[in-house]
Chains A and B, each alone.
Chain A
Amino acid sequence: NAGVTQTPKFRVLKTGQSMTLLCAQDMNHEYMYWYRQDPGMGLRLIHYSVGEGTTAKGEVPDGYNVSRLKKQNFLLGLESAAPSQTSVYFCASSPAGPLSTQYFGPGTRLLVL
């Protein structure tokens, strides 16, 4: 039981490049979330999903897209990376809605030059 895993762990991008971050969970959780964490700020929700095939915007969705084609995977895409997207990205999942505990992945550190 791996819990929540994220790929890759670290990536350097040039401005304008695109990439996809993968989050996978093996706990059969319905809800999945993508957060970004920046110095001096709390975790901020980018997008979330309440089930396979559904996605919704969070607090800071601009510049990101997501897909949840399979229940166990939640992909975060950056179509044209910008230096402002330099951050640490955390994925989380929870068995039910936001009243239930969220289980976090180890994070992906992204540097956009």
Chain B
Amino acid sequence: ILNVEQSPQSLHVQEGDSTNFTCSFPSSNFYALHWYRWETAKSPEALFVMTLNGDEKKKGRISATLNTKEGYSYLYIKGSQPEDSATYLCAFLDNQGGKLIFGQGTELSVKP
């Protein structure tokens, strides 16, 4: 069973703080890593799909890095805003079965 771990489980920050959290995944048989943003009472929305070791992606104030050799990805949010409050999910795709395995998510709460 493939294990995808996200830490921390939850995070509370003040508006304006920058923050980051981690997704750990098996370093063997890597194919891709997805990041999704999931607001309460809505559906998950895609942020990034990352495939290459050393990859960096950016979307506004949110960016992500990828280290496939050691099996982790960081998601950074610069200058957090209350509207960034959501659960951030990562999902690992190996080159064997072709199915996404999701982590349990990091719940971010940004207080004004």
Nearest Cβ on chain A to B104's Cβ, whole angstroms: 5
In the complex, A101→B99 CA distance in Å? 13
Q: Is A107 a contact partner of B49 (Cβ separation < 8 A)? A: no
Cβ–Cβ < 8 Å partners of A106 in chain B: 42-43
Residue in chain B with minimal CB distance to A41: B104
Q: Is A44 a contact partner of B102 (Cβ separation < 8 A)? A: yes
The residues in B between 1 and 47 inclusive whose CB is less than 8 angstroms from any CB of A are 4, 31-32, 34, 42-46
Residue in chain B with minimal CB distance to A6: B43
Question: Which 6 pairs show the lowest CB-CB distances between chains A and B?
Answer: A42-B102, A104-B43, A101-B46, A43-B102, A42-B104, A104-B44
Q: Mostly helix, strand, loop or mixed at chain B's interface?
A: strand
What is the interface size of chain A, counting residues whose CB is below 8 A from a CB of the partner?
Answer: 23
Binding-face segment, A13-21, A66-74, A78-86, A92-100: A92-100
In the complex, A48→B89 CA distance in Å? 20
Q: Is B98 a contact partner of A107 (Cβ separation < 8 A)? A: no
Cβ–Cβ < 8 Å partners of A44 in chain B: 102
Given known pairs A98-B32, A99-B49, A99-B51, the reply for A59 and B98 (CB within 8 Å) is no
Known: A43-B89, A98-B99. 13 other contacts (CB 8 A): A40-B104, A41-B104, A42-B4, A42-B102, A59-B99, A59-B101, A90-B43, A99-B51, A100-B49, A103-B43, A104-B43, A105-B43, A107-B43
User: What are 29 of the A-B contact pairs (CB < 8 Å)?
Assistant: A4-B43, A35-B102, A40-B104, A41-B104, A42-B4, A42-B102, A42-B103, A42-B105, A43-B44, A43-B89, A43-B91, A45-B99, A45-B100, A45-B101, A48-B99, A58-B99, A59-B99, A90-B43, A90-B44, A98-B32, A98-B93, A98-B100, A99-B31, A99-B49, A101-B34, A102-B34, A102-B100, A103-B46, A104-B44
Cβ–Cβ < 8 Å partners of A58 in chain B: 99
What sequence of 0s and 1s flags, for each residue 78-112 of chain B, a beta carbon within 8 Å of any chain A beta carbon?
Answer: 00000000000101010000111111110000000
A-to-B contact residues, CB < 8 Å: 4, 35, 40-45, 48, 58-59, 90, 97-107
Cβ–Cβ < 8 Å partners of A104 in chain B: 43-45
Cβ–Cβ < 8 Å partners of B51 in chain A: 99
